[in-house]
Structure 1
Amino acid sequence: MTTSELAGAVPVGSVAPEFDLRDQNNRRVTLSGLREDGDVLVVFFPLAFTGTCEGELGHIRDSQPRFSDDTLTTVAVSVGPPPTHKVWSSAQGYLFPILSDFWPHGDVARSYGVLDEQRGYPNRGTFLVGRDGLVRFSAMVGPGEARTEDTWSAALAARS
């Protein structure tokens, strides 16, 4: 069940909140910089080293041509620090950016409406941001729920 509008996730048609975060290699990554090359799939996940998150990001890794090309970049975002993401991404073979929303803690997840304030980490939010900065797809599932293939397909179908 997708709960994007009910839970307050940034709706389709809105301007996507800008971010400036560090990836697993401690490099700065901005949404505006990514958008220069095309659409951006922003995938929020709760925590590294957890089964569902590992499975979802493994799906992106194993289907890389669907999630990354000359006009699409996929990034994953969580509240873990870059060193944790570095170890995890290296162990799992994730070659796409894993961004750290560590400090201010969960600020980007909060701006996208997906931060679970009680738990201190994001729900599984999925946003397709067009080159123009507008949200073209928005979905979120709650704790313990995994994204379905329908969610991935709908997000990718929303490309400009």
Structure 2
Amino acid sequence: MTLTGQPAPDFTLPSSTGENITLSSYRGNKNVVLVFYPLDFSPVCSMQLPEYSGRQDDFADANTVVLGINRDSAYTHKAWAAEYGIEVPLLADMNLEVARQYGVSLDGKGISGRAVFLIDKEGVVRYEHVEATPGEYTVKPEEVLEKIRAL
């Protein structure tokens, strides 16, 4: 299943910032990078999300917001964000409903796969990369920034 060229499935989820975030609220205003990852406090995720957070100024300069999403609770997200200095909002998709909409739910394992989706200001998916296994992390923030700059 590919979503590239399709309208991004909309959702509203609780976040580590204490507010509910609705994807469509960015439409007409900002690009959005959705970073699906398996679990807070896991080794690969604890490299990936801080790397994206560390490039937040570059994403802001490209008029883009980064949102992390997995099945952990907003409370777990908040603790993990505090421990690792993660400043991007982390969204709680506790029943994997959004992961299923994006085709990245690993239902047998109860987690989402690792994936990146770039959604333009019109709400259309312009780029997607789903890792072959959840333990892989091959698409780095710089590559996503290049895709944004090419829009």
TM over 0.5: yes
1:15 maps to 7
* Structure 1 residue 140 displacement after superposition: 0.5
Residue 77 (1) aligns with residue 66 (2): no
Unaligned runs of 5+ in 1: 1-7
TM-score with structure 1 setting the length = 0.86
Moved more, 32-41 or 83-92: 32-41
Question: C-alpha distance in 1, partners of 2:134/2:87?
Answer: 26
Residue 135 (1) aligns with residue 144 (2): no
Question: C-alpha distance in 2, partners of 1:155/1:58?
Answer: 15
Asked if 2 retains the 8 angstrom alpha-carbon contact of 1:127 and 1:155, the reply is no
Counterpart among 32, 40, 46 of residue 48 in structure 1 = 40
Question: C-alpha distance in 1, partners of 2:12/2:100?
Answer: 14
1:106 maps to 96
1:5 maps to none
Asked if 1 retains the 8 angstrom alpha-carbon contact of 2:113 and 2:134, the reply is yes
* Structure 1 residue 95 displacement after superposition: 1.2
Question: C-alpha distance in 2, partners of 1:56/1:126?
Answer: 11
1:148 maps to 139
Percent of aligned positions that are identical: 30
Counterpart among 34, 37, 54 of residue 29 in structure 2 = 37
* Structure 1 residue 93 displacement after superposition: 1.1
Aligned length: 148
Name the aligned partner's letter for residue 49 of structure 1: F
Question: C-alpha distance in 2, partners of 1:93/1:35?
Answer: 28
Question: C-alpha distance in 2, partners of 1:147/1:67?
Answer: 18
Asked if 1 retains the 8 angstrom alpha-carbon contact of 2:39 and 2:70, the reply is yes
* SS of aligned partner of 1:108: helix
* Structure 1 residue 70 displacement after superposition: 6.3
* SS of aligned partner of 1:66: helix
Unaligned runs of 5+ in 2: none
Q: CA RMSD of the aligned region, Å?
A: 1.5
TM-score with structure 2 setting the length = 0.90
* Structure 1 residue 71 displacement after superposition: 1.3
Asked if 2 retains the 8 angstrom alpha-carbon contact of 1:45 and 1:123, the reply is yes
- 1:100-132 Cα offsets, whole Å, 9 max, x none, are 001xx0000000000111101111110000111
* Structure 1 residue 36 displacement after superposition: 4.1
Question: C-alpha distance in 1, partners of 2:91/2:15?
Answer: 4
Moved more, 57-66 or 131-140: 57-66
Asked if 1 retains the 8 angstrom alpha-carbon contact of 2:129 and 2:139, the reply is no
